[in-house]
């Protein structure tokens, strides 16, 4: 069983090696930051969380690494309307549940929710099946977001 903590090959090393990618400090550190938060971090967010301990890891590398991770399907990239890409781990070793998002258009807060996810998934699956056939479209992924006002922002109305 692949190690999940201290040393030894981590869960993602295999996938990396298999694709010819090298295991580097920057990549370790970036994945580490992502696996330790519930938030939806931007490239700069990650940079600033890393920078004090690893002043030699540049912002450019963060961008490049996030690109690699997104292509590998290890992270999801989102657009929550604040003009910068935000990322979350697709599925850490913790096995976080699949979820969707509530996005507040007032303050840009993002709430993860898993309620009704089962019904959603069921519908999505039927829909995917139908659409794949009708449009000859191979669906790989989906995005569901609700936009509105969080409690705070409703109060400020």
Which residues, numbered 85-114, are part of the site for DNA (CB under 7 A)? 85
**Using N-to-C axis directions, what is the helix angle for 43-51 and 25-35, rounded to 10°?**
110
- Per-residue x/- mask for DNA, residues 49 to 88, rule CB under 7 A? -------xxxxxx-xxx-x---------------xxx---
Which residues, numbered 108-137, are part of the site for Zn ion (CB under 5 A)? 109
- Closer to its own copies by CB, 17 or 122: give it: 122
Does 150 bind Zn ion (CB under 5 A)? Our answer is yes
Of residues 79, 82, 84, 98, which one binds its own copies by CB under 8 A?
79
> What is the C-alpha to C-alpha distance for residues 10 and 3, in angstroms, rounded to an integer?
5
User: Do residues 68 and 57 touch, judged by C-beta distance below 8 A?
Assistant: no
Phi-psi region at 143: left, alpha or beta (left = phi > 0; alpha = psi -120 to 50):
beta
User: Do residues 71 and 65 touch, judged by C-beta distance below 8 A?
Assistant: no
The partner in contact with residue 107, picked from its own copies, Zn ion, Mn ion, none with C-beta cut-offs of 5 to 8 angstroms by kind, is Zn ion
Which residues, numbered 97-126, are part of the site for Mn ion (CB under 5 A)? 112
């Amino acid at each position: 069983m692949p190690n999940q903590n201290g040393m030894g090959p981590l869960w993602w090393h295999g996938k990396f090696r298999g694709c010819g990618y090298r295991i580097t400090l920057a990549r370790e550190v970036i994945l580490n930051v992502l696996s330790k938060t519930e938030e939806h971090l931007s490239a700069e967010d990650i940079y600033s969380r890393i920078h004090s301990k690893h002043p030699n890891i540049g912002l450019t590398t963060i961008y490049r690494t996030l690109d690699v991770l997104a292509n590998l399907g290890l992270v999801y990239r989102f657009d929550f309307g604040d003009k910068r890409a935000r990322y979350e781990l697709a599925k850490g070793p913790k096995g976080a549940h699949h979820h969707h998002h509530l996005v507040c258009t007032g303050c840009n807060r993002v709430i993860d929710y898993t309620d009704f996810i089962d019904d959603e998934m069921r519908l999505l699956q039927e829909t995917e099946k139908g659409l794949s056939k009708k449009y000859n479209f191979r669906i790989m992924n989906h995005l569901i977001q609700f936009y509105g006002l969080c409690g705070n922002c409703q109060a400020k109305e």
